[in-house]
A and B are shown apart, each in its own frame.
Chain A
């Protein structure tokens, strides 16, 4: 009896093993060591493209690209919409597998480094000249598309954050012109605060406690930075007196003029603004559309929103902007790498980018004028895009982001859990050990 039981168990175990083996042995990776070439030979094939949902804002560009691509190659396009939340986890599991590899993948420009370093992306260096405007790519994107002198990604679009404010509330408080210095911004906010003293949920400037893009903008304005590299070794710089000064400036905004956002991030600041108790936020240009959207916001605010660049602590200057954006890349394991590169080529060519410039900052400086011509708000963001800062270019930077090191530091500062000195010291230690981690 006992022997039979063991026999049954062994049989079951063997079965389980063979099942597992089936699932992991399917498909051979078709990774190529050298570069790839563009391909238009796609009859009967379908390529898979991972795009972030942001592109639903310019669906017409996506649709037209797909049409032109299908005409040129005969291949079909399957767009799989993605979400930024926990995106790197999804990318990790996709790249470590051998099946279900898409042919085009969108990356946030702060995410590319670790994947380029890991050899996950196809080398596009020899194709660079085939991509329109490739000599005039926006610096904040081009820097994130190269690794060790090779090109692994194609800049897609960018965005900068500016101050978005309610014209009606600002003028009702007696403010007629946008501030040109940080000190003036504070005094304007004092006026707004005084005008709404009776409203305990009123934020003259809504600044969420985990909004690290905003806080780091203040750090860079004060002459600080997140980390510097020397001979391959990174040193975090948030403890520096300049960085601490910047955080001091930011903290004033987040604690004196902002209500209710101490333990949240900026993800729903547009919805909060639409509730009517917020006079000012710091956000990307497209967020005005979200605030005034009939579904997500309040359409009555449509004509009341305007922008200005965040004024610097130095009189008459503006803070450098974080240049956020996206790159497109072809996974090294893609089975239709040539077609994938061809799709990117069409999606980022002069025609598509001119269309895209209606919605976001295009991937090159040649089309910036087309972008600025769209609206007054675009003039502000277009100017802001000319003076930018980026996150450390270490392949390990993505781990600092996913571990929420900066968010936790900022929240500790805003809630008063730690002083700026203590919080930056703790964060610097984490950033040092993360950026310098070796295998």
Chain B
């Protein structure tokens, strides 16, 4: 759900007319017989999507509606099928106050991470737009390098940086006058621990955001900015009234993607907490793993997974509507 979608979205320019219309008409000349060809061509892709995403989804929904046995007998003997119990599992999960704490924690975590990564992303994009060519190249190179580091590796590196005994961060902070950070355990308190985790998540999200937003910025017509400046607009006013509206479609897409990724953050938390995140560190993905896979309660886990999808869709409904509206406007 996270890594697969990391291709940069193409920056769209809303001022240019959609370029697809005329060539498409020309292709039609191929005639009536070729009309089925596009469908034939998408069959393999559709089949793969259905097989690797659609089928597991159906299975997960079926699992979530079946009885959760405490033992593993059914799991090993009836191909994991247990009697249907309707929405019994849902009632159980939704009736558990832990679930709601986890959902609240996840929403706060997502909001903080999406907000921070977008703000910093725009900041770096603006910087990329201003600096000289070689600096831009260097910065882009560094960003690409950050992008290439798998989350498992970056989590491990940050974990060691923040290690309470031998970590670099404590050592550096301790050098400051009046600060005693010797042996400070960043993970004893989940709020501090989430601070470190947020750092890794934002660090990993920045390259994509900065590079795509920089691409978006290059599409902002210079003459409009010049005109704004001539009319006496401050840089902030020019940014707000000229640049931002041009970036909006891109920002909507990036925000949507960021929400999907940050809502489902798993690796960073899982590795920072040595494969057993404590209750205070459980966001919904981790909670699902701990309750479902970790405890061999696959029906309950599936129920949480279905609820997680519902949460994501609910949060994204606003953005999807906006996307559709933008599509209509074009």
Contact = CB atoms under 8 A, between A and B. Distances in A.
B79 A96 contact: yes
A95 interface: yes
Nearest to B55: A20
Contact of B182 (A24, A201, A417): A201
Contacts of A439: 67, 69-71, 74
A304 B120 CA distance: 52
A106 B275 CA distance: 22
A16 B275 contact: no
B50 A12 contact: yes
A89 B276 CA distance: 14
B226 interface: no
Contact of B47 (A19, A89, A398, A417): A19
Given A19-B47, A260-B164, A5 B294 contact: no
Given A263-B188, A408-B278, A16 B55 contact: yes
Interface in A407-439: 407-408, 411, 415, 417, 437-439
A86, A200, A263, A408: residue with the most chain B Cβ atoms closer than 10 Å:
A263
Interface stretch (A117-125, A179-187, A220-228, A350-358): A117-125
Contacts of B80: 96
A264 interface: yes
A402 B294 contact: yes
A396 interface: yes
A119 to B, nearest CB: 6
B76 A201 contact: no
B76 A118 contact: yes
B274 interface: yes
A85 B275 contact: yes
Given A11-B43, A12-B50, A120 B278 contact: no
Contacts of A86: 275, 294
A404 interface: yes
Given A95-B76, A118-B72, A200-B183, A13 B50 contact: yes
A96 B295 contact: no
A235 interface: no
Interface residues of B, number: 45
Interface string B286-300: 000010011111100
A39 interface: no
A40 interface: no
A120 B274 contact: no
B227 to A, nearest CB: 46
Contacts of B74: 439
Nearest to B78: A96
A119 B75 contact: no
A263 B187 CA distance: 7
Given A12-B50, A96-B80, A411-B278, A119 B73 contact: yes
Contacts of B50: 12-13, 15-16
A395 B295 contact: no
B72 to A, nearest CB: 4
A118 B75 contact: yes
B51 interface: yes
B97 to A, nearest CB: 14
Contact of A437 (B55, B70, B274, B276): B70
B77 A404 contact: no
Contacts of A13: 50, 54
A314 to B, nearest CB: 33
Interface in B155-198: 164-166, 182-183, 185, 187-189
A242 B237 CA distance: 70
A262 B75 CA distance: 37
A403 B183 contact: no
A119 B76 contact: yes
A115 interface: yes
Contacts of B46: 8-9, 12
B36, B76, B165: residue with the most chain A Cβ atoms closer than 10 Å:
B76
B145 interface: no
Contact of B76 (A120, A262, A265, A407): A120
Interface string B55-87: 100000000000101111111110110000000
29 contacts: A1-B35, A4-B36, A8-B39, A9-B46, A13-B54, A15-B50, A19-B47, A20-B51, A31-B77, A92-B75, A117-B72, A117-B73, A118-B71, A118-B72, A118-B76, A119-B73, A201-B165, A259-B165, A260-B164, A262-B185, A265-B274, A265-B276, A404-B290, A407-B278, A408-B279, A415-B189, A439-B69, A439-B70, A439-B74
Interface of A: 1, 4-5, 8-9, 11-13, 15-17, 19-20, 24, 31, 85-86, 88-89, 92, 95-96, 114-115, 117-120, 200-201, 210, 259-260, 262-265, 267, 272, 275, 277, 395-396, 398-399, 402-404, 407-408, 411, 415, 417, 437-439
Interface of B: 35-36, 39-40, 42-43, 46-47, 50-51, 54-55, 67, 69-77, 79-80, 164-166, 182-183, 185, 187-189, 274-276, 278-279, 290, 293-298
